[in-house]
Structure 1
Amino acid sequence: MPRQKDILTTGEVAKVCNVAPRTVSKWFDSGQLRGYRIPGSKDRRIPVSSLIRFMKAHQIPLDGLQSGNTRVLIVDGESEIVDVLKKVLGEQANYEVRTAHTGFAAGLECEKYRPHVILVDMHLADVRGQDVLKLVRGTDDLQLTKVIAMSGKLTDGQSQHLIQEGFDGYLRKPFHVRQVIEAIEEATAIVY
């Protein structure tokens, strides 16, 4: 299954917004639409997340964007946490949620499911959370996947160390579901 693009050209943005490419260039050059220029070129690139914020701010209909749900994989050995998160994230945030109770099962799910976000417990029975992160970062098809660490044993220093290791966020157990949704929204730059 092809993955939706997370970076668009000015021509693609123009099609989505039903305007001329030159109009998109003006939005970009004036700073209204955030993005970046390709080094050594005048070509512009706009992240989908920036485009959506821009479209919402200017009441541009989102019809031109492909819709779909954020795919979340929860990897935790505690069935109670997994079951509650799966139910609430699916109902309240409308995420498409899959689960795994071991690192091995997570690897299989990643291969089939291609999650946008992985919530991984740092203390799985068969692997460390860092190993799951390493697997994700080492897999070409998962380069855009965001990985959020979960643990009930995190100090402030350990939390910052996780970010330095490459995690896209962290959650301290016990947490409120709103915190989980905020962590997912903050970590992912791709909106589906």
Structure 2
Amino acid sequence: MEKRSLTTGEIAKYCGVNFRTVIRWIKQGHLKAYQLPGRGDNRIEVQDFLNFLREHDMPVPEEFQERSRRVLIVEDDPLMAKNMQRILRRGGFETQIASDGFSAGTLVKTFSPAVMTLDMKMPRLGGLEVVKFVRSTEGLRDIKILVVSAMPQRDLEEALKAGANEALEKPFKNEDLLEKVSRLAGVTGPPGSRFAPPRQSLEKSP
């Protein structure tokens, strides 16, 4: 996807709101923007727009869903990793697999996923360290992290406190994995699905 900036009018059209609402989001710090010198018109980088949508659990418009459908599967069990890959690919996601924490650290930069599924018990670099690395690294912090693990509940809670977004216990149902990844990615169906209106909480903010 070509990197470019968007106007407040374009953002309003994508989100189904009035452009004044977009300006209010900018003024309130919800949406990152910059102003053109001498004119004062607001411009929003595409990546900042996508970050805004994910942070507020708003679906991503169809034309921006290329990255939103990328999922990095971090799993050291080959059979489990392939099974998760099969489930997600059937759901329309593009996937890559990292079999250890160090490989995950490389692939999050080169593959640029929207969501990462993460087993906590990993060789070389543990899942908790991966969460902390992603959350402390500029350019990676917007990646959604779904912990998928059979570890005790207290370990899952520790991962959530460190910055993971959600947790899914093993064994899991196929539909539960697909539903959680889809929600975190901000997509509501297979490629070609319609973009839903934004949540009313932002629309009605003072």
Q: Would you say same fold, with TM above 0.5?
A: yes
Query: 1:36 aligned to 25, 28, 41, which one?
Result: 25
Distance 1:81 1:131 in 2: 21
Give deviations 1:122-179, integer Å, cap 9, x for gaps: 0012121111111111221212111111211232x44333322211111100111211
Q: CA 1:87/1:16 → structure 2, altered by over 3 Å: closer, same or farther?
A: same
Identity rate, percent: 24
Count of residues in correspondence between the two structures: 168
Q: CA 1:2/1:180 → structure 2, altered by over 3 Å: closer, same or farther?
A: farther
| Structure 1 unaligned regions, length at least 5 | 56-61
Higher RCO (CA 8 Å, separation ≥ 6 residues) = 2
Aligned to 1:184: 181
Aligned to 2:156: 159
CA RMSD of the aligned region, Å?
A: 3.6
Pairs within 5 Å for 1:51-66: 65-66=63-64
Distance 2:127 2:3 in 1: 25
Distance 1:11 1:123 in 2: 46
Aligned to 2:111: 113
Letter of the 2:134 partner, please give it: V
Aligned to 2:100: 102
Distance 2:96 2:131 in 1: 17
Q: CA 1:149/1:14 → structure 2, altered by over 3 Å: closer, same or farther?
A: closer
Q: CA 1:103/1:39 → structure 2, altered by over 3 Å: closer, same or farther?
A: same
TM-score (normalised: structure 2) = 0.66
Answer with 132-141 or 65-74: which moved more.
65-74
Aligned to 2:145: 147
TM-score (normalised: structure 1) = 0.70
